[in-house]
Amino acid sequence: MKVKLGMITLILPVFLGACADMSVLEEVPAWERGSLARPEMAWEPDPMHAALRQHIYFSKEASSGAASAGGGGCGCN
Amino acid sequence: MGGPCTVRLYAPSEDAGQQAAFRAEAEVRRIEQKYSRYRPDSVLSVINTQAHAGWGVAVDDETAALLDYAQAVWEQSDGVFDVTSGVLRRAWDFKSGHLPDSGLLARTLAATGWDKLRWQRPLLYFGLPDMELDFGGLGKEYAADCAATQCRNSGIQHGLVELGGDIAVVGPHPDGSPWMIGIRHPRQTQSAVASIPLAHGGIASSGDYERYMLVEGRRYCHILHPQTGYPVVSDIAGVTVVGPSCLIAGSATTVAMLKGAAAPAWLDSLALPWLLINAQGERIYAD
Amino acid sequence: MKQTKSSRLQALTAAAMALPGISAQVQADAPPERNEIGYHYSQYQEDRAPESAVATGSKSRYDIGTHQFRWLGPVNEDYSLLATFDYEGMSGASPMGVTKGADGKPLLVMSGASIEDTRMDLNVKATRYFPEGNASASLGYSTEDDYNAVNLGVEGEKHFNNKSTTLSGGVGFSSDTIEPTQQSGTVRPTSEDKTSVTGFIGGAQVINAVSVIQTSLTVTMHDGYLSDPYRSNDVRPDSRLGFAWNTRYRRWMADSNAALHLDYRLYSDDWGILSHTLGMEWHQNLDDSLRITPSLRYYTQSQADFYVPFDVSGIAGEQSSDYRLSPYGAITLGLAAVASGPNWRLRVSGERYYSDGDFALGGVDVENPGLINFTLLTVGMEYLY
Q: How confident is the model at residue A6 (pLDDT cuts 50, 70, 90)?
A: very low
* Per-residue model confidence as pLDDT tens digits over C123-178: 999 999 998 899 999 999 999 988 999 999 999 999 988 788 999 999 999 999 99
pLDDT > 90: percent of chain B: 35
Q: How would residue B61 be classed by pLDDT, with cut points 50, 70 and 90?
A: confident
Interface test with C, best of A4, A41, A44 (most C CBs within 10 A): A41
Assess contact for C292 and C257: CB atoms under 8 A.
no
Whether residues C273 and A51 touch (CB distance < 8 A) is answered with: no
Contact between B11 and B96 (Cβ < 8 Å): no
Query: Which region among A14-23, C155-164, C251-260 has the lowest average model confidence (pLDDT)?
Result: A14-23
Q: Taking Cα atoms as reference points, which of B45, B65, B51 lies closest to residue B134?
A: B45
Instruction: For residues B104-127, give the mean pLDDT.
Output: 89
B160-200 residue pLDDT tens? 999 988 999 998 888 778 899 988 777 776 777 888 889 88
Residue of A nearest to B246 (CA): A31
Give residue A16's pLDDT.
37
pLDDT of residue A31: 61
What are residue C109's DSSP bridge partners?
C56, C97
Give the per-residue pLDDT at C216.
Answer: 94
| B178-279 is classed CATH 3.10.520.10 | yes
Number of CB pairs < 8 Å for A and C? 242
pLDDT at position B171 is 86
pLDDT band for position C19 (50/70/90)? confident
The count of other CB atoms within 10 Å of the CB of residue C35 is: 14
Strand-pair partners of C117: C90
Out of B104-118, B211-225, C141-155, C347-361, pick the least confident: B211-225
B157 with A37: Cβ contact below 8 A: yes
A17: confidence class by pLDDT, cuts 50, 70, 90:
very low
| Dihedral over alpha carbons B53, B55, B57, B63 (to 10 degrees) | 130
Residue of C1, C256, C283 to mutate, testing the B interface (most B Cβ within 10 Å of its Cβ): C1
Looking only at the bridges linking them, the beta strands covering C328-341 and C290-301 are antiparallel
Of C155, C200, C209, the CB nearest to A28: C209
Within 8 A by CB and 6+ apart from A5, the residues are none
Does residue C95 have a cis peptide bond before it, meaning omega lies within 30 degrees of 0? no
CA closest to A28 among chain B residues: B244
Q: For residue A25, is pLDDT > 70? A: no
Residue A77 has pLDDT above 70, yes or no: no
- Looking at residue C5, its pLDDT comes to 61
The confidence score (pLDDT) of residue A75 equals 55
Task: Report whether pLDDT(B240) > 50.
Answer: yes
Q: Mutate one of A33, A44, A59 to test the C interface: name it (highest C CB count within 10 A).
A: A33
pTM check: above 0.80: no
Which of residues B99 and C303 earns the better pLDDT score? Answer: C303
Structural domains of chain C, with CATH: 34-384 (2.40.160.40)
Answer whether residue B92 shows pLDDT above 90: no
Distances (CA, A) of B58 to B66, B85, B122, B193: 14, 21, 5, 45
How far is Cα A64 from Cα C200, in angstroms, rounded to an integer?
Answer: 12
Q: Of A49-58, A60-69, C256-265, which range is least confident?
A: A60-69
C2 Cβ under 8 Å from any chain B Cβ: yes
pLDDT-based confidence at residue B235 (cuts at 50, 70, 90) = confident
Note whether C207 contacts A25, CB cutoff 8 Å: yes
What pLDDT score does A76 carry?
55
Contacts with A53 from chain C: Cβ below 8 Å: 351, 376
Q: Which of C140, C305, C351 sits opposite A71 (nearest CB)?
A: C140
Residue from C375, C372, C380 nearest C322 by CA: C372
Min distance C85 CA to chain B CA atoms (Å):
29
Q: How far apart are CA A28 and CA A55, in angstroms?
A: 36
In this complex, do B244 and A38 lie within 8 Å of one another by their Cβ atoms?
A: no
pLDDT number for residue B283: 82
Q: Which residues on chain B are in Cβ contact (under 8 Å) with C16?
A: 69, 244-245, 247-248
Task: Check pLDDT > 80 for residue C200.
Answer: yes
Q: At A17, which amino acid appears?
A: G
Q: Which residues share a beta bridge with C194?
A: C176, C224
What fold, for B43-133? T-fold (1.10.3980)
Give the per-residue pLDDT at C257: 87
Most confident of B91-100, B161-170, C27-36, C175-184: B161-170
Residue C210 to residues A74, B196, C251: CA-CA distances in angstroms?
A: 38, 22, 6
Q: What is the pLDDT of residue A74?
A: 57
How many C-beta atoms surround the C-beta of residue B123 within 10 A?
Answer: 15
Residue A30's pLDDT band (cuts 50, 70, 90) = low
Residues of chain A with C-beta less than 8 angstroms from the C-beta of C14: 27
Domain ranges of chain B: 43-133, 178-279
> Angle at CA C146, nearest 5°, toward A75 and C126?
60
Asked whether B18 and B9 are in contact (CB, 8 A), the reply is: no
